[in-house]
Chain A
Amino acid sequence: MSEREVDALSTGEVRQETMIVNMGPQHPSTHGVLRLLLELDGETVVSCEPIIGYLHTGIEKNTEYRTWQQGVTFVTRADYLSPFFNETAYCLAVEKLLGIEAPPRAQVLRVLFMEMNRIASHLVWLATAGMELGAVSVMLYGFRERETILDIFEAATGLRMNHAYVRIGGVVMDLPDGGLDAIGDFTAMMPGRIREYENLLSRNPIWVERNAGVGVLKAETALGLGVTGPVLRSAGVAKDVRRDEPYCGYETYEFDVPVRETADCYGRFELRLEEMRESLRIVEQCSERLREPGHVMIEDPKVAWPARLEVGSDGIGNAPSYVTHIMEESMEALIHHFKMVTEGVSVPAGEVYVPVESPRGELGFYVVSDGGHRPYRVKIRDPSFVNLQSVPAMVEGGLVADAIAVISSLDPVMGGVDR
C-alpha cells in the first residue's frame, strides 16, 4: 500500500476512479460471444461499449462464390435461432428478381414453419432470459417445449436447425405423413404451457423486480437507433412487417400485433408470450389450409430444383424412378439435371430489398444480381445487429446487474449479428 493510499484510508477520503470490466466474450449470460466493455463506478455502469465480430463467418462474401440455390444453405446459418426466416427472406428476394411467385401451398408451408420457428426462438429467449435472472426451472421448460418443435422440424426437413428447407420457387418437399397431426398435438399442448410460464413468472416478485422499469427505451430513441421487433413494440410502436408490408400471404391470416407501452424488460416479456399465442393462431390457420393438396415447388423447370424427393430408409433422397429416368431413359433430362445442379438458376440483373418480420425485428435482404448464375451481392440486414446498438442507451446509468436483464430482453443472436 502506498503512502498516499494509507493517507486516504486514515482520512476517510473516497477513491474516485472507475473500473473497467470486460463482460464476455465468454460469459454464459451474453447469448454467445458478445463482449461488453463496461466502465463501472461501484455497481453503476458509467459507460458501455458492445464489441462484436467474434462469430464473423463471412456469409455474405461466401454467397458470392456459390450458385443462387446454394445461397440458401449459407444464409440459414446467419441467425441460427430463426433459420426459416433467413431462408424465406433470401428466397423471396431472389424470386422478386426472377419475377416469380411460389405456389400457394409452398407459401402456406413457409408461413407455418416461420411461425413455428418464431415460437421456438421465443422459447429459447424465455429459457435463457429465465436462466440469466435465476429462474432455472423456466430454462428447462423452455428448452423442453422447443424440443417438440425441433422434432417436427426434423421430421419435415431432416434437420433440427439450418434446414435449407425453403428453396427458390417453393419449399424442398411437402410435410411427411402424420405431419399435420404432430402440429395439431403441438398447438393443442402449447397454450397450457404458455399459461404455465405466465403463472411461474408474471407475478413472481423477483422476476418483476428484476424486469419492471429496467432497460427503458422510449419510442423516439428506439426509432432513431433503428430498433425493431418486440423491443420497439414494447415502446408502443406497432411496427410489424407481416402486417405493414405483407409477404407470403400474411394479409389473409387473422392475427393481432401485440403492443405494450411500458418500454421496459417486463413489457418485452409479456409481449413475447403474447406473440407466441398469436403465432399459434397462425399455425392453426395454416394447418387448416394444408388439408388441401397442392404443389410445393414452382413448375418452371428453369427454376425448380431437378429432383423428386421422397423419404427413404436413409432420410430424404431422390426417388428411384427419377434416378432411372435421368440415368437410363432421357439424355435431355440428364443434361438438364447436370446444368441445374452445377450452374444453377440464372437471375436477371437488378437489385431488391425484401424485409420480413423475424422474431427479433425487421430482417432485410438486399440482393444484387449482375445477370449471372451467382449472387453479385447479398447483404443481410439482421435485426440483432442493429438492435444491439441500443445497449448503451439502456444500460448506462443503471446497475451492472440490470445489464444482464437488458441484454436478455434484446434477445440478440450473435450468429446474426456477426454473420
Chain B
Amino acid sequence: MNAQELADRVGERHPSVVVARQEATLTLERTELLGALAPLRDDPELRLDFLSSITASDRPGRDPRFWVAYELYSLELRHRLRVKVGLAEDGASVPSVTSVFPTANWLERETYDFYGIVFDGHPDLRRILLPDGWEGWPLRKTEELGGVNTWYHGGAFIPPVDRRIT
C-alpha cells in the first residue's frame, strides 16, 4: 500500500492523517494513543505490527513543545506510518506503549533520558545512556552543547562550542 492509500485507510478512523514526501503521519492526542495502536496493529488491511523507533523533538516556546514520534511498520504489507503525539511543556507525559510493543522499553527510556518526557506505566523508567546522576535533559533545545564540567583534565570546564577560542 502506498502512503496515500494507507492514509485514506487510517483516515477512516482518525481524520488527522497527512501525507508528505510519500510518508503518512498520524497526529494523535496523548489520551488517544494507547487505544489507537492496537487497532492499527490488528486491522487486516493495515497490520502495523512492528515498532521501528520512538523518538522526540523539542520546539521551545511553541505549543505543543514536544512531539513524540512512533515509526510503525507492517512486515506483511511493507508500509510505514508515523504516529505523533504533541506534549505541552508542563507535565510532559505520554502513556507507555510497552504493553502493545515490548520493544518500546528501551526506546522510551532513551527518549526519557534525552528529553525528560515521562512515559506513564513504563515498567522501568530510568536513564539508559547517560549516568544515573546526570542532571538535565541533554537533547532539549534549551541545553547547550558542551558547557559541562568534565571528568577528565582535572575536572576542567569545557565551554560551549560557540564560545570556544580556537
B 63-79 to A, binary, CB cutoff 8 A, 1 in contact else 0:
00000010100010010
Q: Which residues of B contact A227 (CB under 8 A)?
A: 103
Instruction: Using A61-B138, A389-B103 as known contacts, say yes or no to A379 and B52 having CB atoms under 8 A apart.
Output: no
A68 within 8 A of B: no
A/B pair count, beta carbons within 8 Å: 90
Q: Among the listed stretches A75-83, A218-226, A396-404, which one makes contact with chain B, having 4 or more residues with CB under 8 Å of it?
A: A218-226
- Closest chain-A Cβ to B134's Cβ sits at a distance in Å of 10
Residues on A with beta carbons closer than 8 Å to the beta carbon of B161: 65
When the two chains form their complex, are residues A418 and B129 in contact, meaning their CB atoms are under 8 A apart?
yes
Interface size on B, residues (CB 8 A): 36
B residues near A244, Cβ cutoff 8 Å: 78
CB distance B105 to A364 under 8 Å? no
Residue of A nearest to B113 (CB): A53
Given contacts A65-B161, A350-B20, contact A379 B53 (CB under 8 A): yes
B71 contacts A52, C-beta separation under 8 Å: no
Q: Mark A215-254, 1 if CB is under 8 A from B, else 0.
A: 0000000011111000000000101000011000000000
Q: Is B8 an interface residue (CB 8 A)?
A: no
**Which chain B residues numbered 129 to 166 have a C-beta less than 8 Å away from chain A?**
129-131, 138-139, 145, 161-162
A418 / chain B contacts, CB cutoff of 8 Å? 129
Q: Which residues of A lie under 8 Å from residue B20 when comparing CB positions?
A: 350
A244 and B82 alpha carbons, distance in the complex (Å)? 18
Closest to A382 in B: B53
Chain B interface, >50% SS class:
mixed
Q: Determine the residue in chain A with the shortest Cβ distance to B23.
A: A352
A377 nearest CB across to chain B (Å)? 4
Chain A residues positioned under 8 Å from B106 (CB to CB):
385-386, 388-389
Given A52-B129, A224-B101, CB of A386 within 8 Å of CB of B145: no
Query: Could you show 24 A-B contacts with beta carbons less than 8 Å apart?
Result: A53-B128, A53-B130, A53-B131, A58-B138, A96-B21, A223-B50, A226-B51, A226-B101, A239-B75, A244-B78, A245-B78, A351-B25, A353-B52, A353-B80, A353-B82, A366-B71, A377-B57, A381-B52, A381-B55, A385-B106, A385-B110, A386-B106, A386-B107, A419-B129
- Are B103 and A366 in touch, CB under 8 angstroms? no
Tell me the A residues contacting B by CB distance below 8 Å: 52-53, 56, 58, 60-62, 64-65, 96-97, 99, 223-227, 237, 239, 244-245, 350-353, 355, 362, 364, 366, 368, 376-377, 379, 381, 385-386, 388-389, 418-419
A364 to B114 Cα, complex, angstroms: 18
Interface set of B (CB-CB < 8 Å, partner A): 20-21, 23, 25, 49-53, 55, 57-58, 69, 71, 75, 78, 80, 82, 101-103, 105-107, 110, 114, 127-131, 138-139, 145, 161-162
List 16 extra interface pairs beyond A65-B145, A224-B102, A386-B103, CB under 8 A.
A53-B128, A53-B131, A97-B21, A225-B102, A225-B103, A226-B50, A226-B101, A226-B103, A353-B52, A362-B52, A364-B71, A368-B57, A376-B57, A381-B52, A385-B106, A389-B103
Give the contacting residue for A352; candidates B21, B52, B57, B130; CB below 8 A: B21
Whole-angstrom distance from the CB of A70 to the nearest CB of chain B? 12
A226 to chain B: which residues have CB within 8 Å? 50-52, 101-103, 107
A376–B140 alpha-carbon span in the complex (Å): 11
> Contacts of B128 on A, CB cut-off 8 Å?
52-53
Contact B138–A366 (Cβ < 8 Å): no
Complex Cα distance, B102 from A99, in Å, reads 35
Measured CA separation A226–B105 after assembly (Å): 10
Q: Which residues of chain B are near A364, meaning CB under 8 Å?
A: 52-53, 71
| CB–CB B102/A353 < 8 A | no
Are A353 and B130 in contact, with the CB atoms below 8 A?
Answer: no
On whether the beta carbons of B130 and A223 are closer than 8 Å, the reply is no
The one of A52, A224, A239, A366 in contact with B55, judged by C-beta atoms closer than 8 angstroms, is A366
